[in-house]
Amino acid sequence: MGDHFEKSQHALLNEGEENEMEIFGYRTHSCRKTLCLAGSIFSFGILPLVLYWRPAWHVWANCIPCSLQEADVVLLRTTDEFQTYSWKKVMWIYLSTLNSSFGLTPDHPLITDEEYIINRAIRKPDLKVRCIKVQKIRYVWNNLEGQFQKIGSLEDWLSSAKIHLKFGSGLTREEQEIRRLICGPNTIDVEVTPIWKLLIKEVLNPFYIFQLFSVCLWFSEDYKEYACAIIIMSIISIALTVYDLRQQSVKLHGLVESHNSITVSVCGRKAGVQELESRFLVPGDLLILSGNKVQMPCDAVLIDGSCVVDEGMLTGESIPVTKTPLPKMDSSVPWKTQSEADYKRHVLFCGTEVIQSRGACSGPARAVVLQTGFNTAKGDLVRSILYPKPMNFKLYRDAIRFLLCLVGIATIGMIYTLCVYVLSGEPPEEVVRKALDVITIAVPPALPAALTTGIIYAQRRLKKRGIFCISPQRINVCGQLNLVCFDKTGTLTRDGLDLWGVVPCDKNGFQEVYSFASGRALPWGPLCAAMASCHSLILLNGTIQGDPLDLKMFEATTWEMTISGEDFNIKGVPAHAMVIKPCKTASQVPVEGIAILHQFPFSSALQRMTVIVQELGGDQLAFMKGAPEKVASFCQPETVPTSFVSELQIYTTQGFRVIAMAYKKLEMDHHTTALTRDKVESDLIFLGLLILENQLKEETKPVLEELISARIRTVMITGDNLQTAITVARKSGMVSEDQKVILIETNETTGSSSASISWKLVEEKKHIAYGNQDNYINIWEEVSDNSREGSYHFALSGKSFQVISQHFSSLLPKILMNGTIFARMSPGQKSSLVEEFQKLDYFVGMCGDGANDCGALKMAHVGISLSEQEASVASPFTSKTPNIECVPHLIKEGRAALVTSFCMFKYMALYSMIQYVGVLLLYWETNSLSNYQFLFQDLAITTLIGVTMTLNGAYPKLVPFRPAGRLISPPLLLSVIFNIIFSLAMHIVGFILVQRQTWYSMDIHSACTGQNESISKLTTPPIPENVGSNDTFRSFENTTIWFLGTINCIIVALIFSKGKPFRQPTYKNYIFVLVLVIQLAVCLFILFADIPDLYRRFDLLCTPVLWRGCIVIMLSCNFIVSFAVEEAIIENRALWMIIKRCFGYRSKSQYRIWQRALAKDPSWPPLNQISSSDLPGCGRGVSYSNPVFESNEEQL
């Protein structure tokens, strides 16, 4: 219904963003509303319940479509595959309330300037604003553009000059008042949901409504015991769920509560500096940052001074980050894109802590408020917890389909029941009751609860291993993982870096390696000065803090760090500057110290950092430190040694982390703030290489070997050097010794030439000088095309990945099929890569230490954070043990939980079908099972089995195949169908045979032998007729069917309880085995006991011992046949592989289609070739947005 809309009635909200939605306009229709009200009354509340479950139906029933401009209700639909609907009322904000304070009129100059969204949203002359609130974000109606737009942020199109000019001196009180009213308070307000609200929401779940229907029906049939049991179980389940939700709500409320009560200093245009509660902040306010240890209550862009910030809350890594002011540029380019550097280096994010703020010469550090409330970085993080991405797992969709099949079967049973009972002349109320009974038998009310028990037990086992889960439904998804991406530093390798040595260089090239193991200090020179000053370390309470790499480098110089005082009087050096001085024991250092004047901080996008320093009593210098390739590109070519590439390879191939350093002298007459980064970072002199050791964690290699042996692909995504990554991949076993690595390099489009891509085989050679160490890598240009003999892996950088995505989209899936090493990847590229793997139908896991990995952790099917920082809330799983051992544990538990879910589903379906078949057979005789018979089957048998069957732990070994991911897979369906057929056959045989026995008579209520009866009479006193029995149920058919059905439920539980290869063997589940043994013993005791009181209580008739033996034989035959079929056919993996080959079945997963295509392509991989983007098959001709089989038909 929502698809046929004119443009004015339909639009996109948050276009291109992760939370993109379609929005449709509707107007409430009084006639429709009246009809809905009448329908609600006449349907006894069923209609409003259905409309509550289906928000779109609610809108369609009560409203009529209209333009968004006229709408008083909007219908929202997510643009993802789930197409989730929700609706919101359009609200009005009245600016007339401000009239009393400063006389706001329609022609007031503050609101006539329609350059800003806020002013465009104000409807004149009545001064009111239309708005909606979606997922905690407020959207206002832009009257000029005719669409809803997000409010609570500064406009993205603003240039840096505009920000400085418009907001550099603060807002007036009037502007603040208007913005406060329209944007709302600057609070991340997570209310603690009242228990009654949680209770109502939980109780209105369709599952509990069905249980309520079942319980009412059972009470009407006097089936009180099981009804009470279900009520008790439901109350416990609801109470636990509500308690869990309440705890999460309280925890999240506590996490953000402190954010809302911070006092800040705000500079007003006329009012000057004043103290203000942070909830009154609005976008555009000017914050004054003074003092240390300040929590940021909003996102703000720094326009003056510098700050050192702890961004642990966002990145998961508590390393101080230096923030620099936004430079004032003349261009009208938006401030975020005005420089190639990452704009985030100017932004102070909400929730982070300002450790130190340092003002410029003119005064304290100042920042303009960018975003408030839920628009901020912390707000976005909290919203991702409040509104998690829905899981697209086929198991849950299949479960709904299966339930609908059961409903269909129940409908057939209802029709059959109606026919039988109407023809028998039964009273109408009895006919209706019996017909409704069939629904509760065919669709077991305990089914959804039984499905979650396996996940609950798996979650508990994971918790014992120190793995915590905030999204339990994802445990089942872990069982389907077939590709796991790993960050390198801190995940595969150790966190700490050790400074191994430096390789200085001069005009003659690289000198000998200077090792720090000897304990000697590095001689004075530009390289020593660079190591002492080119860093972002800070002095906090007498302790040096900062990046571990910077810390190791600075400690190696043995210099000291101080802060210059007010009386510090050296030309060009401001007060409170960072001053580095040689220690007292150092000799032959011609300078008193080095003052750091200005920093261009490190960013992963730029892969470098630069500082401007002043030698005390000497020159002004600039030092650069960063990725060797990047630093060399800024140096004078003649200063970079000719052996640069080979020297770099020597160290990177041994897994060392290599950092290059460079410097240049600056002219003294320049003021540091006037120097642009481009001017400073040019014509540098290359100084040498810094070699740091980054060792593999002990657990890395065995874990990767375990995953590879289980045919789970492993991929490395790192921000480090490409060749270092290749070596770590080899050392860790991700790439084995006999496998080849093909390096993919690209060139971007330039003015004259198009983008190109080249393929080179990376070959290992022993290096004589370093023979005692590992191999090093050489790019072998002239190679024979023998790469197809063994398997191969592609290695590429983030830059190449970007170029391939843009210009070689048709090659991307081919490359990803064997892409194993991705280096120099930015956080955004990591997320994109995970998404591209998902497009190939891989189930992707991502394991990272939290730093820079948040986006990828959220994007993956299963994100595992090794960080315990607050950033781990972005990840469904967090491991307390900071190594990758948690990955195989998680996959094993996921597989066990998935198989457990299938076992329970099969069992619950069979149990309901056994009861269904039995009851329908008895309905033929207008008979049924009695309440005590139902109670024994439902409570004593099924409930106990449901609780204990799921206790099996995960199998300790990962096998090289995954469990089925779908309920409607042929083995699972056949297993259920075969067992239903066997049960049906056994019940029909028992039903017909009992009627053909010589002792069978409709009038006789016992067929025991005289000897049996005499024993019974001696052992029990006579019982009055109507005590504890109901003759309407008692018949030989009833007795036979009940024993067959009850014991068959136990047999089915044993057959369906799977052990190896995904779960521990069944015999190790001691509680389950004990329950089955006791249940079977009790059933056999009732069958052979001959206790009239017990028989009367269960509405059973005494049968001859021979017939009881026949019942046991029928059950034994059923068990043998079912067990044989399950083991020989259903669980026979080899048989299914043969059947697949015979029928020519091929997986429809995209990665399987590409594997088959590449296996037939003799020209792949194209070694020693260079392709351009304008060549056929390499360019944009084949879009990768939907890499379907058809796009590659010609090559197949």
* Token pair belonging to 27: 């107007």
pLDDT at 369: 93
pLDDT at 514: 81
For residue 402, pLDDT beyond 60: yes
Q: What is the percentage of the chain residues whose pLDDT exceeds 70? A: 85
pLDDT at 91: 92
Task: State the average pLDDT over residues 284-299.
Answer: 85
- Where do we find the tokens 């009635």? 9
More confident site: 241 or 670? 241
- pLDDT band at residue 74 under the 50/70/90 scheme: very high
pLDDT at 584: 67
pLDDT at 950: 86
pLDDT at 83: 84
526: preceding bond cis by omega (within 30 degrees): no
Q: Average pLDDT, whole number, for the chain?
A: 81
Q: String of b and e for 331-367 (b: at least 16 CB within 10 Å)?
A: eeeebbebbebbbbbbbbbbbbbbbbbbbeeeebbbb
Task: State the average pLDDT over residues 499-504.
Answer: 86
pLDDT digits (tens, 9 = 90+) for 174-195: 888 888 888 889 888 888 888 8
725 exposure class (CB count in 10 Å sphere: 0-12, 13-18, 19+) = buried
More confident site: 1095 or 676? 1095
How far apart are alpha carbons 1024 and 236 in whole angstroms? 40
Judged by DSSP in three states, 895 sits in helix
For residue 532, pLDDT beyond 80: yes
* Token pair belonging to 688: 């040498």
1148 exposure class (CB count in 10 Å sphere: 0-12, 13-18, 19+) = exposed
Adjacent-strand bridge partners of 614: 595, 620
- pLDDT band at residue 1190 under the 50/70/90 scheme: very low
- pLDDT band at residue 1026 under the 50/70/90 scheme: very low
Judged by DSSP in three states, 254 sits in helix
pLDDT at 1094: 86
In this structure, are residues 556 and 531 in contact, taking their beta carbons and an 8 Å threshold? yes
pLDDT at 775: 35
pLDDT digits (tens, 9 = 90+) for 572-622: 566 667 888 887 665 567 778 888 888 887 776 677 889 988 888 778 889
Task: State the average pLDDT over residues 499-519.
Answer: 80
pLDDT digits (tens, 9 = 90+) for 35-56: 999 998 988 888 998 998 899 9
The helix (run of H) or strand (run of E) holding residue 1019 is helix 1010-1019
pLDDT at 771: 32
Which residue of the set 299, 380, 437, 487 is catalytic? 487
**What backbone torsions phi and psi does residue 1055 show, to the nearest 5 degrees?**
-65, -40
How far apart are alpha carbons 894 and 453 in whole angstroms? 13
How far apart are alpha carbons 274 and 691 in whole angstroms? 51
For residue 870, pLDDT beyond 90: no
In degrees, to the nearest 5, what angle opens at C-alpha 83 toward C-alphas 408 and 35? 70
* Token pair belonging to 1122: 């079912």
- pLDDT band at residue 1076 under the 50/70/90 scheme: very high
Query: Which alpha helices (H) appear in 1036-1091, and where do they start and end?
Result: 1036-1056, 1070-1088
How far apart are alpha carbons 1096 and 1027 in whole angstroms? 8
- pLDDT band at residue 1041 under the 50/70/90 scheme: very high
Highest-scoring range by mean pLDDT, 591-595, 639-643, 1055-1059, 1077-1081: 1077-1081
In this structure, are residues 917 and 423 in contact, taking their beta carbons and an 8 Å threshold? no
- pLDDT band at residue 857 under the 50/70/90 scheme: confident
CA 34 to each of CA 1, 45, 63, 87, 421: distance values in angstroms, whole numbers, following the listed order: 21, 15, 11, 19, 40
pLDDT digits (tens, 9 = 90+) for 374-399: 888 888 878 877 777 666 556 667 77
**What backbone torsions phi and psi does residue 848 show, to the nearest 5 degrees?**
-145, 170
pLDDT at 992: 92
For residue 1128, pLDDT beyond 80: yes
- pLDDT band at residue 1004 under the 50/70/90 scheme: low
Highest-scoring range by mean pLDDT, 309-318, 661-670, 928-937, 1107-1116: 1107-1116
487 is catalytic: yes
Orientation of helix 206-220 relative to helix 224-257, angle to 10°: 160
pLDDT at 31: 92
pLDDT at 101: 62
In this structure, are residues 853 and 832 in contact, taking their beta carbons and an 8 Å threshold? no
In angstroms, the first-to-last Cα distance of the chain is 41
CA 460 to each of CA 162, 472, 944, 1044, 1185: distance values in angstroms, whole numbers, following the listed order: 55, 10, 20, 37, 40
In this structure, are residues 912 and 444 in contact, taking their beta carbons and an 8 Å threshold? yes
- Where do we find the tokens 């469904």? 876
More confident site: 402 or 1158? 1158
Task: State the average pLDDT over residues 662-691.
Answer: 81
pLDDT at 986: 94
pLDDT at 483: 93
Q: Which one-letter DSSP state was computed for residue 937? A: I
In this structure, are residues 833 and 485 in contact, taking their beta carbons and an 8 Å threshold? yes
- Where do we find the tokens 């009732």? 1086
* Pairing state between β 740-747 and 792-797: parallel
CA 250 to chain CA centroid, Å, is: 22
Among 215-229, 514-528, 593-607, 759-773, the least confident range? 759-773
Q: How many CB atoms lie within 10 A of CB 270?
A: 10
778 exposure class (CB count in 10 Å sphere: 0-12, 13-18, 19+) = middle
More confident site: 102 or 281? 281
Query: For the chain, what percentages of helix, strand and coil (3-state, to nearest 5) are there?
Result: 45, 20, 35
Q: String of b and e for 252-263 (b: at least 16 CB within 10 Å)?
A: beebbeebbebe
pLDDT at 380: 81
Task: State the average pLDDT over residues 503-508.
Answer: 83
Highest-scoring range by mean pLDDT, 195-204, 676-685, 795-804, 1106-1115: 1106-1115
For residue 667, pLDDT beyond 90: no
Orientation of helix 1105-1125 relative to helix 1070-1088, angle to 10°: 150
pLDDT at 674: 66
How far apart are alpha carbons 670 and 691 in whole angstroms? 34
- pLDDT band at residue 774 under the 50/70/90 scheme: very low
pLDDT at 869: 57
Taking CB atoms within 8 Å and a gap of at least 24, the contacts of 201-204 are 202/238, 202/241, 202/242, 202/245, 203/238, 204/49, 204/52
pLDDT at 703: 92
Which candidate, 625, 542, 529, places its Cα nearest to that of 581?
A: 529
**What backbone torsions phi and psi does residue 592 show, to the nearest 5 degrees?**
-75, -30
Task: State the average pLDDT over residues 735-744.
Answer: 87
How far apart are alpha carbons 532 and 586 in whole angstroms? 13
Highest-scoring range by mean pLDDT, 4-8, 584-588, 647-651: 647-651
pLDDT at 1187: 29
Q: String of b and e for 871-890 (b: at least 16 CB within 10 Å)?
A: bbbbbbbbbeebbbbbbbbb
Query: Which alpha helices (H) appear in 684-840, and where do they start and end?
Result: 700-709, 722-732, 798-807, 812-818, 827-839
Rounded to two decimals, the pTM is 0.76
Task: State the average pLDDT over residues 435-448.
Answer: 80
Among 333-347, 722-736, 1085-1099, the least confident range? 333-347
pLDDT at 1018: 35
More confident site: 605 or 404? 404
pLDDT digits (tens, 9 = 90+) for 911-951: 999 999 999 998 888 788 888 888 888 888 988 898 888 88
pLDDT at 1: 47
For residue 1077, pLDDT beyond 90: yes
CA 46 to each of CA 28, 42, 209, 408, 1145: distance values in angstroms, whole numbers, following the listed order: 21, 9, 10, 21, 46
